[in-house]
Structure 1
Amino acid sequence: MVSGVEAGALSIVPALLAIGLAWRTRDAQIGLFVGVVAAGVVYGALNPAAVGVPDDLIRAGPHVAEVSPQADDASSWSVGLGGVLLGSVFGLKVVPEIIATAPLFGPWYVENVLLAIFAIGGMIGLMIRSGAIRGVLEALADRVDDSADAEKAAFLAGIAVHIDDYFNCLVVGSMMRPLTDRFNVSRAKLAYYVDSAGSPAARLAFYSTWGAAMVGFIGGGIEQAASQGNLPSGMSGFVGAEGNAVTGAIWPLFFNTLFTGFYSWIALAIAALVAWQVFPNIFEMGREESRARAGNGVVGEDDDPMISEELDRYEVYEGATPHWRNFAVPILTMIVVGLGAMFWRASPVIYVDGATGSTLLRVAEWQLVAPPAGPWSFNIGGVSLGIASVAAFAVAFLMYRLQGNIPSNKDATDAAMVGFKGILLAAVILMFASSIQNAVTVLGVASFITATFGNIPAFVVPVVVFLTTAFVSFSDGSSWSTYGIMFPIAIPLAFATGANLPLVLGAVFSGGIFGDHSSPISDTTVLASSTSGSDHMVHVRSQIPYAVITAAITAALFLLFGFVLPEGFRVIPY
């Protein structure tokens, strides 16, 4: 495994390249990949011996850097310019290792994140083919009489399909577009509801793909803090003997962020107020809605609507009987199985005393340990999203086949494959997000940031972290890649300054959602435009005012609570 180095200011170069190129190319994957490559170059330049540059070549040219303070061995030689240049080239050798050793490829992540992403994707395909999605639409249509009802239905559909942001965008736009078109609701307004109930709602669903991934990102920051010696003694159980985060122990910490993820709650609240005609249609959204209500088209004459051709081509089986229950049963299966695994007493992770609220014991996942005696004691394990999502997929497959809503096993597997392909981008982005997290950690970016900003007042840290994360996420268009960059920075900074940890974590989550909700290069924003049939930039321009208002309220709350809440405050004990 690549050993870490203290790169100082150079540690931020990969992140800056990732952000800049993502903005320039409008492609987050390109920026992230180049950021990982840049990390290898910087690593090799600073440590040429570690990447295989011969000793005599390390010393070639004018001396530009000291390798080690020791003076009695070859490692003490100062590095020449030739060594730096060769090291930067040889540093490309560590790029595959940085990617391969990213947290995503550990057993826990493969089981609980990658497997879950594809299981959910396959379930989407089955739901479309079997008419389960259409059944939800028909159930909603029976209760819609005018455009105001259609807007409420679009918002509520987004809330209902909250299990994953990609799931939401892929399903809700396509499902609701015929209904909103019928009642002259602009495509830009539909895309706003799809986008506003995508990432914000999925981030709050701890049993979704987001829950498992976010615990992993927090774990990366905890590991970074432990490596710097900043981890409080009371949290020593969060890191195992080998320096790896105990994923199950992080869940209660993550649950605290459900209360401090202000951006998600405010975005959902404003979208609800818009749907119920309380909050006005402002700026470009007002123009879009005025034209549509006047009967002049749900899209403008000069607009270029984005419609997902694959989803439009893929149709419900003609012999299917659509019903909303066929959608509800697999989703409820996922929730029940996920929660059941979480509180299964045979796999304790954290014991909490209900009388005192204190954490009594932490143990490794799946280790069989009898709970300690005491009133109201209970244990919290990790949500096993892999088990839950596969169970839901299996239930959907069997139920639709037994009902005859999918005619054959081949038809069912074809439907699942359509869903797998639709969700593939999520897996790719997560791979690069996890890799950029590993890359900036190797270069010691957290040490640089905490050394630079460690003396700022603790009450300012949450709002500063939120604004910084919002800028990064808007620039790279991906909340997950932003989390990979920011958590190894924000968590050690919180410990170093004495800021309230759940509040700082909520600030990172909130800043990431802002970019997902507003950036023109955000994958979910593009999907919202595509499946809603909206012109993409019209969607972006009409949505940004609402996102900015949400961000302003969020920033004010982080500033207020940063001043009010003490360092040790938490809603759920951890």
Structure 2
Amino acid sequence: MSKLTKWATLICIIFGVASAIYINLAVSPKWLENQVRYQIYLNDAGQQAYLMSGKEKTLPPPVPYESSPLRQSELDLIEGEPSIKQQWVYFNDKPDEPILLTANYHYELWSLLPAFIAIALCLLTREPLLALFSGIVVGAFMVGKFDLSADVLIPNLATTDAASILVLYLWLLGGLMGIWSRTGAALAFAEMMSRKFVRGPRSAKLVTWCLGVLFFQGGTMSTVLVGTTVKPLADKANVSHEELSYVVDSTASPIASVIAFNAWPAYIQALIFVPGVAFLATESDRIDFFFSSIPFSFYGIFAVVGTFLVSIGFYRFAGAPMRKAINRARLTGQLDAENASPLSAKELQTVSVPVGYHAHWFEFAVPLLSLIMVAVLTYLFMGSPQIHWAFASALGIALITAIAKGMTIRQVFEGMGTGWKGVVVASVILMLAITIGGISKQLGGGLYLVDLLGEDLPYYLLPVVLQLLTMLIAFSTGTSWGTYAIAFPLAMPLAWAIAQSSGLAHPEVFMMICFATVLNGSVYGDQCSPISDTTILSAMTTGCDLMDHVKTQLVPATTAAGIAAILWTLSSLLLT
């Protein structure tokens, strides 16, 4: 790190901390009324109820809207926090249609400060641990939480999500990769694929692309599964880690938004209910609406097409950083840049097979097949893939196979220990990314951005405005699903109101276009954010430097987003 970079880093941290303390002492948050509408029904006991996360919840007696302290007119008058944060209310003209009022807040532009500090330091220092921790400190100080361990880290690390990450990515994934490194199974699989299918970089990337499309569940599972599978054969074929991580990342969430036979429709449909809109009235209507909107998922389509073009050797649109990485790998055999710091530890990139142990490719393929089968079958029979079961089955099979073939228990667990060491840094980064994402959401950065919109916006500009806003929200928070929870309940009613006021002939088509922009803009922001779990996992499983992955992926992803923006605007003008 140069002297100039060190000074810039220090100034950035001092600015962030000083600003956070100033905000805590002198800036009052802006409280906003938020109306959340659920599909209300009468349960068997005759009580009003609704579904949340698949569980039935009954409504307390609602109060008249005019008497609620959570009305915007009341929130504008308060000093400090409101006495309650949510309340069920009804309007006098619709007493049988209660809605949930919630009070949320933001600090206007200041709400984006933690994410800005984290991303700026990532770019400056290429040290995600320092960047994420600094962003967490700034966010915590903004809300007056100065005991970082007791008030911030422990509460966030004690959550179910954090425990799930530790079990899955540290213990199960790390253990599995460690055993494959110890037995030489991954190398044997790569050699078999090289003999029969992979003849060079192009065929290695095509295998990667096909697996990415095949595992269309999206998100972290697709990223880990594809990255772990293809890295050995791609390394052998001299595919740069930047190139490989781009193909893995851009065939994860983008493909899930296009081939949506996964958990996405069930989750998103609950966020897009708009009163009075017939084609969004029931759950089945909203799921049908999701699938009807897929032809407008232009970013997802072009992102997947872009990875295919890179896979077959067409790099013109990929940008100078990607072409530089490709040329370096082909000409010198160096899979990483000289100053790179891969998230995957060196221990996992070397093989230490015990003397007398002969690896076979099926030691890699059988656990992998088990992983896929468990994930698919649990999705078919239980409605969502049980990722922990899938990886646990793969780890168990790999462990038993190694022992059955003559490896001692000590040697197997030495391999697992090596695997745990290899992913511990990436696991910590993931934990910090979740923590800063939660703080950014608490500070209301997404709410502030959406609050900038108004119903007087020309209808043909709304899709691109929604795209840009969701790209920024997801980039700042590192999560597409979290962005959906913020943006959809606000964007869909706004789109309907603008469609009605503009007198559009086909308002349902306009709603589909706006829906697709939120869906795809969130995917782009998540995919390109250095604090996103899928971005981190793509770099980790392919052995790439995190910021090298972000920088090389940014150009082709932005190209796809730009083309999508043009098509959404044209669709609004020509089809509605």
Cα pair 2:255 2:301 within 8 Å, conserved: no
Q: Deviations over 1:42-100 (max 9, x none)?
A: 44xxxxxxxxxxxxxxxxxxxxxxxxxxxxxxxxxxxxxxxxxxxx4xx4369855666
State whether structure 2 residue 509 is matched by structure 1 residue 496: no
- Residue 195 (structure 1) shift: 1.4
CA distance in 2, matches of 1:422, 1:257: 42
- The question of whether the paired residues in 2 share the 8 Å contact of 1:436 and 1:485 is answered with no
Aligned-pair CA distance for 1:254: 9.2
- Offset of residue 194 of structure 1: 1.1
Q: Which secondary structure does the structure 2 equivalent of 1:142 belong to?
A: helix
Does structure 1 retain, via aligned residues, the 8 Å contact 2:250–2:303? Answer: yes
Contact 1:166 1:423 in 2 (8 A): no
CA distance in 2 between partners of 1:388 and 1:301 (Å):
31
Do residues 115 (structure 1) and 167 (structure 2) align? yes
Give 1:463's aligned residue: 464
Match of 1:190 among 212, 228, 240: 240
**Partner Cα separation in structure 2 for residue 124 and residue 174 of structure 1:** 11
The equivalent of 2:201 in structure 1 is 150
- For structure 1, the 5+ residue unaligned runs are 44-87, 181-188, 239-249, 348-380, 567-574
In structure 2, distance between residues paired with 1:262 and 1:527: 28
Cα distance in 2, alignment partners of residues 106 and 252 from structure 1? 34
Moved more, 490-499 or 157-166: 157-166
Q: CA deviation at 1:491?
A: 2.3
Is the CA contact 1:17–1:35 (under 8 Å) kept in the aligned structure 2? yes
Which structure 2 segments of 5+ residues have no match?
1-81, 86-101, 216-220, 496-510
CA distance in 2, matches of 1:541, 1:32: 18
Contact kept in structure 2, 1:450 and 1:493, CA below 8 Å: yes
Please give the alpha-carbon distance, in whole angstroms, between the structure 2 residues aligned to 1:256 and 1:100. 43
For residues 505 and 398 of structure 1, do their structure 2 counterparts lie closer, same or farther at Cα, with a shift above 3 Å needed? farther
Residues 1:393 and 2:447 are matched in the alignment: no
Supply the AA of the counterpart residue of 1:190: S
Q: Of residues 353, 364, 375 in structure 2, which corresponds to 1:327?
A: 364
State the alpha-carbon separation in 2 of the partners of residues 553 and 510 from structure 1: 15
- Are 2:470 and 2:487, in contact at CA under 8 Å, matched by a contact in 1? no
TM-score normalised over the length of structure 2: 0.60
Aligned to 1:382: 384
Write the letter of the residue equivalent to 1:115. Answer: V
Amino acid at match of 1:179: A
Q: Show the 5 A alignment for 1:118-137.
A: 118=170, 119-137=172-190
* Alignment map for 1:273-284 (pairs within 5 Å): 273-278=309-314, 280=316, 283=320
Q: Deviations over 1:200-243 (max 9, x none)?
A: 2333687xxxx999899979x95xx99xx9999999999xxxxx
Q: Distance in 2 between matches of 1:334 and 1:30?
A: 34
Shift in Å, 1:337? 1.9
Measured after TM superposition, the shift of residue 385 of structure 1 is 2.0
Write out per-residue CA displacement over residues 230-279 of structure 1, whole angstroms, 9 at most, x where no aligned residue. 999999999xxxxxxxxxxx999999998776545433422322332355
Q: Does 1:10 align with 2:11?
A: no
How far apart are 1:497 and its partner, in Å?
1.3
Q: Which residue of structure 1 lines up, in the alignment, with residue 409 of structure 2?
A: 409
Matching residue's letter, 2:411? D
| Aligned 8 A contact 1:39 1:439 in 2 | yes
C-alpha contact (below 8 Å) 1:433/1:481 kept by paired residues: yes
Superposition deviation, residue 10 in structure 1:
0.7
Do the aligned residues in 1 keep the contact of 2:178 with 2:418 (CA within 8 Å)?
yes
Q: Structure 1 residues 435, 559: closer, same or farther in 2, change over 3 A?
A: farther
Opposite residue 548 of structure 1, the aligned amino acid is T
Does the 8 Å contact 2:119/2:530 carry over to 1?
A: no
Partner secondary structure for residue 92 of structure 1: coil
The one of 529, 540, 543 aligned to 1:531: 543
1:158-307 to structure 2, matched below 5 A, reads: 159-160=210-211, 163-165=221-223, 169=227, 172-173=230-231, 175-180=233-238, 190-203=240-253, 222=271, 262-278=298-314, 280=316, 283=320, 297-299=332-334, 303-304=338-339
Q: Which gives a bigger RCO, structure 1 or 2 (Cα 8 Å, sep 6+)?
A: 1
Q: Is the 8 A contact 1:231 1:495 kept in 2?
A: no
Aligned residues of 1:487 and 1:508 also touching (Cα < 8 A) = no
Letter in 2 for 1:18: A
In structure 2, C-alpha distance between the alignment counterparts of 1:286 and 1:441, rounded to whole Å: 36
Task: After TM superposition, list the pairs within 5 Å mapping 1:58-97 onto structure 2.
Answer: 88=144, 91-92=145-146, 96-97=150-151
> 1:284 touches 1:541 (CA, 8 Å); kept in 2?
yes
Q: Confirm whether residue 141 of structure 1 aligns to residue 143 of structure 2.
A: no
Inter-partner Cα distance in structure 2 for 1:132 and 1:510: 34
Compute the RMSD of aligned alpha carbons.
5.1
- Determine the C-alpha separation between the residues in 1 that align with 2:357 and 2:299: 40
Distance 1:213 1:234 in 2: 21
C-alpha separation in 1, matches of 2:369 and 2:155: 35
CA distance in 2, matches of 1:339, 1:564: 40
1:457–1:338 distance in 2 versus 1, CA, 3 Å: farther
Shift of 1:171: 6.3
CA separation of 1:230 and 1:422: change in aligned 2, threshold 3 A: farther
Which residue of 311, 328, 338 maps to 2:348? 311
2:556 to 546, 554, 559: 546
